[in-house]
Chains A and B, each alone.
Chain A
């Protein structure tokens, strides 16, 4: 039982260590920045550039649609 617990603990510590080292490498070599700049942003930019958008200049402009919002008169 004790041995099993010890093994799990060691395993967890090992995973933790690998994760920490891995994340530190991502951090230190700015891999997050490189991924975002070189892959994610161009992909999203392309998506937004090609998105269908409504022609806002066709939006109605109803002159009398809204009242005067004034209360102290």
Chain B
């Protein structure tokens, strides 16, 4: 396939958190607001006057100081973020909007909080006098009570914080503008992502992963022109005559902001056609709908709780339904199997992976490759062997089924 015009530019934007577009937005006087989890609605951090940056720590392979603070028995992702913060890599942030949605990232974000306790010293990790960090409580359920609680949390701690510290306009009109902007990003990402549903997709999983990530880590208003151009470019992109893959897979699981991991999967013959993991597009790029007369903040709250498939959701119907959703995605994207990847020390996905591995295979007939990985994949040799074996098993299944 012809190279995508902006792919190298996009790849460069992912090399560090404080990338060129972030610098440009900061130079234009915008406030940079960091976050880690889907449950912190990025749309509210993209209100006029500020922009969201979903935190990553690319190329962080040995988080030594963070390991002193968080021990070696905590997820590599959280430690890498702390290491990057300690190195000064997040000093551009004006605020961190935090969630206690997994323990490890909670602890990372608590290290960033400044001057908030007498009982423990202030580490002043983010060297920025304006910096503050607010936490919200995110419900474990998606019922009406939860929507209202979540809305109240967002109003008090996110909008309240932005207004109080930076004078950000948090009116309904401003929220509507941010929703509009986010919906445009989502429409473009979905348009580009839909090419993965073709029999011979005209975009690789790696390329899509890169594009999805830049939409999370760059100011929306600055990345939009590039996304528009890429969507346009995709309309005429021709696939390779000979398929460059041997099977298609849904990649599901825990936090994954490493496009090289997707590249590794694809180098073993499996085309990643769907990204159902934290930082993926399945949830984050759904269109936010505001019903007639509805409070836009309530719409945002409802949207994030109803679209998430996070294994931290606890209602019984929800625990069970999310297995079916993965099967439905496999059908929608014409995938031959599912790779379930959990980060080491991620407790949610360790369990969810065990159940998915049994249920998807047994009840939905989907081949499943179940793996545990690191944030940055140093053990690529072992993973390569696992993926190659999985691809072969899918091929054998096809032969047996006479496909």
Taking beta carbons and an 8 Å cutoff, which residues of A are in contact with B?
A: 57, 61-70, 72-73
Whether B145 contacts A72 by the Cβ 8 Å rule is: yes
A63, B315: Cβ atoms closer than 8 Å: no
List residues of chain B with CB within 8 A of the CB of A61: 320, 323, 355, 359, 363
CA distance A62 to B145 in the complex (A): 26
Question: In the bound complex, how far is the Cα of B325 from the Cα of A24, in angstroms?
Answer: 66
Contact assessment for B143 and A70 in the assembled complex, using a CB-CB cutoff below 8 Å: yes
Indicate if the CB atoms of A68 and B317 lie closer than 8 Å: yes
Give Cα A57 to B141, complex, Å: 27
CB–CB B317/A66 < 8 A: yes
- Whether the pair A69, B323 counts as a contact (CB closer than 8 A) is no
Residues of B within 8 A of A (CB): 141, 143-145, 315-318, 320-321, 323-324, 355, 358-359, 363
B144–A63 contact, CB under 8 A? Answer: no
Query: How many whole Å from A54's CB to the nearest CB in chain B?
Result: 15
List A contacts of B363 (CB < 8 A). 61
Most buried by B among A61, A62, A66, A69: A61
Main SS of the interface on chain A? loop
Q: In the complex, what's the smallest C-beta–C-beta distance from B146 to chain A, in angstroms?
A: 9
**Given the interface contacts A57-B358, A61-B363, does A70 sit within 8 Å of B315 by beta carbon?**
yes
Complex: how many Å from CA A62 to CA B318? Answer: 12
Question: B143 near A73 (CB under 8 angstroms)?
Answer: yes
Q: Cβ of B320: which chain A residues have Cβ within 8 Å of it?
A: 61-66
Contact A70 B323, beta carbon cutoff 8 Å? no
Chain A residues in 8 Å Cβ range of B355: 61
Chain A residue with the shortest CB-CB distance to B325:
A63
A57 to B320, CA, bound (A): 15
Bound together, the chains give a CA A64 to CA B324 distance in angstroms of 10
Tell whether A68 pairs with B145 under 8 Å between CB atoms, given A57-B358, A63-B320, A63-B323. Answer: no
Closest to A71 in B: B143
Chain B residues with CB under 8 Å of A72's CB are 143-145
How distant is the Cα of A64 from the Cα of B355 in the complex, in angstroms? 17
**What A residues does B324 contact at CB under 8 A?**
63
Residue from the list B144, B321, B358, B359 in contact with A70, Cβ < 8 A: B144
Chain B residues contacting A62 (CB-CB under 8 Å) are 320
Instruction: Check B143–A66 contact: CB distance below 8 A.
Output: no
Smallest CB gap from B316: residue in A: A66
Cβ B316 vs Cβ A63 within 8 A: no
Tell me whether A68 and B315 are in contact (CB under 8 A). yes
Taking CB atoms, residues of chain B closer than 8 Å to A65 are: 320
Q: Find chain A residues with CB under 8 A from B316 CB.
A: 66, 68-69
Least distance between B318 CB and chain A CB atoms (Å): 8
How close is A71's CB to chain B, nearest CB, in angstroms?
9
Give the Cβ gap from A61 to chain B, nearest Cβ, in Å.
Answer: 5
**What is the CA–CA distance of A42 and B321 in the complex, to the nearest angstrom?**
44
Interface centre among A63, A65, A68, A73 (most CB of B within 10 A): A63
Least CB distance from A69 to B in Å reads 7
Docked CA distance A57–B317 (Å): 20
Q: Report the separation of the CA atoms of residues A8 and B315 in the bound assembly, to the nearest whole angstrom.
A: 69
Contacts of B359 in A (CB 8 A): 61
Contacts of B315 in A (CB 8 A): 68-70
Q: Which residues of B are found within 8 Å of A73, using beta-carbon distances?
A: 143-145
What CA separation (Å) do A64 and B322 show in the bound complex?
Answer: 11
* Nearest CB in chain A: distance from B380 CB, A: 31
What is the CB-to-nearest-CB distance from B152 to chain A, in angstroms, rounded to a whole number?
A: 15
- Nearest CB in chain A: distance from B347 CB, A: 21
A-B contact sample (4 more), CB < 8 A, given A65-B320, A70-B141: A61-B323, A63-B321, A73-B143, A73-B145
Most B CB contacts (10 A, CB to CB) among A66, A68, A73 go to A68
- List 8 A-B pairs, minimum CB-CB distance, nearest first: A70-B143, A73-B144, A68-B317, A63-B320, A63-B324, A66-B316, A61-B359, A72-B145
